[in-house]
Amino acid sequence: MTLETISTNRSFGGVQGVYAHDSQATGTRMVFSVYVPPHAEGQKLPVLLYLSGLTCTHANVTEKGEFRRACAEAGVIFVAPDTSPRGDEVADDEAYDFGKGAGFYVDATQEPWAAHFRMRTYIEQELPDLLAEHFPVDRTRQGITGHSMGGHGALTIALRNPDRFRSVSAFAPIVSPLNCPWGEKALGGYLGQDRVAWRAYDACALIEDGARLPELLVDQGLGDNFLEGQLKTHLLEEACKASGIPATIRMQEGYDHSYYFISSFMADHVAWHAERLKR
């Protein structure tokens, strides 16, 4: 697969790059960022995939996430894809929580979204193959994390692919789209009104249906305006407890939903993933 280099910058001895390619999954040009830490020639490195939230692109965490020092110290590649397909030919919605910037990491089945909104296939299949072809990635050592809508993506992708990810974490994830306005709007619009089909995209439902994780780390701000109405972290706590999934869910006093919150705990998450990816 052909890869276009948009930019590269030296950082903490490694290289922060931004890249683009023509995606077969979405039928559009997709942009993503990759930080490769310093390493020996020929060495394969563990990789941490970060999925962003509503309205974001790869740029939000790349510019505000403060992950590079931690990744350089731990020897972990950090990958940040976009949240949806882009382009004039891609269907959109005027609202911030649907359409471009709000792909919810699903493969849409409803028109006009089905033509391009195939973020599940992009993240689960196409992007990993592209990374393995062009970067020093060890595909046997993969972790996944994300924020908000991206936390939902990280949890559900990991639960559907239990043999692929050694480590899973999230920042303020949408834990049950079946039970919040953001999720009901997105899943109903992209997948139709059969709520049974939604269960593949709901972390709590997947756990209830038998999916498991080896363990889980979640940070959630207690000052987050979306906590009660949209995120509902307690539902994930209850699901993990009922299923026996070891979950460290940290409710952080005074923190909101922003990148000030994410960057405060990013180094913790990188170190947590690195420990598990290097076992």
Contacts 24+ apart (CB under 8 A), 18-27: 18/58, 18/62, 19/134, 21/130, 23/85, 23/122, 23/126, 24/126, 25/118, 25/119, 25/121, 25/122, 25/125, 25/126, 26/85, 26/116, 26/117, 26/118, 26/119, 26/122, 27/85, 27/115, 27/116
Rounded to an integer, what distance in angstroms lies between the CA atom of residue 57 and that of residue 49? 14
The residue annotated as part of the active site, out of 147, 257, 269, 273, is 257
Rounded to an integer, what distance in angstroms lies between the CA atom of residue 73 and that of residue 266? 13
CA angle, residues 99, 182, 210, in degrees to nearest 5: 110
The residue annotated as part of the active site, out of 148, 167, 169, 176, is 148
Instruction: Determine whether 257 is an active site residue.
Output: yes
The residue annotated as part of the active site, out of 82, 202, 224, 269, is 224
Instruction: Determine whether 268 is an active site residue.
Output: no
Instruction: Determine whether 169 is an active site residue.
Output: no
Q: Which class for 95: exposed (0-12), middle (13-18), buried (19 or more C-beta within 10 A)?
A: exposed
Q: Is the dihedral of CA 175, 177, 179, 185 positive or negative?
A: positive
Active site (catalytic) residues: 148, 224, 257
